[in-house]
């Protein structure tokens, strides 16, 4: 059985300065160990969601439960220990003067003893493959490397959930790939639940499950395959369709038959080879 680790029930939120609800009656569960992508256009409410999940804002209506604890002003400090967050801008979240200081920062704040700290800093930097850079200063690092250090800083606190709030959107393609590869590895270890908030559908395609937000509401929820079957609807929502779906459509328009609606690029190549070329 899938175990729910985060649960939203009837959550609504409105910023003081805005008439419209940023989130309106949102309910869903996030399961232990899954990689959930929350996608939506700019202003769809996905970043507000990130703020609520980490208690940076509180809902006006509804409840958020994280690991059996309802998020309130009183429980927030306990909950934050379980939820780590990586933000969009790599330059805004580097607090230490060296890589190792940066990772140690959160641990010092939490009063972790020195010996344990040294161990955790090394261990988490190893997990993001940045252990060669212990004494490097931030301005010597690329955007992708900075984001991996940010992830290490989060990992060192041993959270059960990590939220990536558009953590790859300011990176170049190489940096983006580095960060996603890191997340893939962490997921394989199955110790973490990953929530990635993004509008990059190629990134979302790698998730286990996708939630599509529109105008502050959950528009659709499903596997990447189910979501990408929405096709033109995704474009109407201000999103895009992955390349392999566009390519498949073009092949169909040229009169070729394909077995499934959504295929990854590799599957599409294989399909073309086995059912068309090798005949």
Measure CA of the first residue to CA of the last residue in the chain; give whole Å: 43
Contact 133, 145 (CB under 8 A): yes
Q: What order do you get walking across the sheet with 4-13 strand by strand?
A: 23-31, 4-13, 61-66, 69-70
State in angstroms the smallest separation of the CB of 81 from another protein. Answer: 30
Contact call for residue 201 and another protein (CB under 8 A)? yes
Helix (H, G, I), strand (E, B) or coil at 115: helix
Instruction: Report which DSSP code applies to 30.
Output: E
Contact call for residue 272 and another protein (CB under 8 A)? yes
Cα angle, residue 14 at apex, residues 168 and 16 outer, rounded to 5°: 105
Quick one: which segment of 22-30, 60-68, 148-156, 262-270 binds another protein (CB under 8 A)? Answer: 262-270
Q: Which residue in 268, 179, 193, 147 sits closest to 36, CA to CA?
A: 193
Is 166 noted as a catalytic residue in this protein? yes
Helix and strand counts by DSSP (H, E) for the chain = 11, 10
Contact call for residue 143 and another protein (CB under 8 A)? yes
State in angstroms the smallest separation of the CB of 251 from another protein. Answer: 5
| Interface size with another protein, residues (CB under 8 A) | 39
Contact call for residue 247 and another protein (CB under 8 A)? yes
Per CB under 8 A, which of residues 55..114 are in contact with another protein?
Answer: 88
Q: Which residues are near another protein by CB under 8 A?
A: 17, 40-43, 88, 142-143, 166, 169-170, 172-175, 199, 201, 235, 238-240, 243, 246-247, 250-251, 253-256, 265-266, 268-270, 272-273, 276-277
């Amino acid at each position: 059985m899938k175990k729910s680790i985060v649960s939203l029930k009837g959550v609504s939120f409105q910023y003081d300065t805005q008439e419209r609800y940023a989130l309106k009656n949102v309910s869903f569960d996030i399961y232990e160990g899954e990689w959930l992508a929350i996608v939506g256009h700019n202003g769809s409410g996905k970043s507000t969601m990130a703020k609520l999940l980490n208690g940076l804002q509180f809902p006006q209506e509804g409840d958020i439960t994280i690991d059996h604890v309802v998020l309130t002003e009183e429980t927030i400090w306990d909950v934050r220990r379980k939820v780590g967050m990586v933000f969009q801008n790599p330059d805004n979240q580097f607090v230490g003067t060296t890589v190792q200081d940066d990772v140690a920062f959160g641990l010092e704040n939490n009063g972790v003893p020195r010996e344990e700290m040294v161990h955790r800093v090394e261990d988490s930097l190893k997990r993001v493959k940045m252990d060669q850079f212990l004494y490097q200063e931030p301005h010597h690092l690329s955007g992708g490397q900075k984001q991996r250090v940010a992830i290490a800083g989060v990992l060192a606190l041993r959270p059960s959930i990590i939220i990536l709030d558009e953590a790859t959107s300011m990176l170049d393609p190489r940096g983006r790939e580095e960060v996603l590869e890191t997340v893939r590895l962490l997921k394989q270890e199955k110790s973490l639940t990953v929530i990635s908030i993004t509008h990059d559908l190629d990134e979302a395609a790698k998730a286990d499950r996708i939630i599509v937000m529109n105008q502050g509401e959950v528009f659709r929820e499903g596997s990447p395959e189910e979501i990408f079957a929405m096709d033109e609807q995704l474009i109407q929502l201000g999103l895009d369709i992955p390349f392999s779906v566009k390519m498949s459509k073009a092949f169909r328009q040229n009169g070729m038959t394909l077995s499934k609606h959504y295929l990854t690029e590799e599957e599409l190549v294989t399909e073309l080879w086995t059912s068309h070329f090798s005949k």
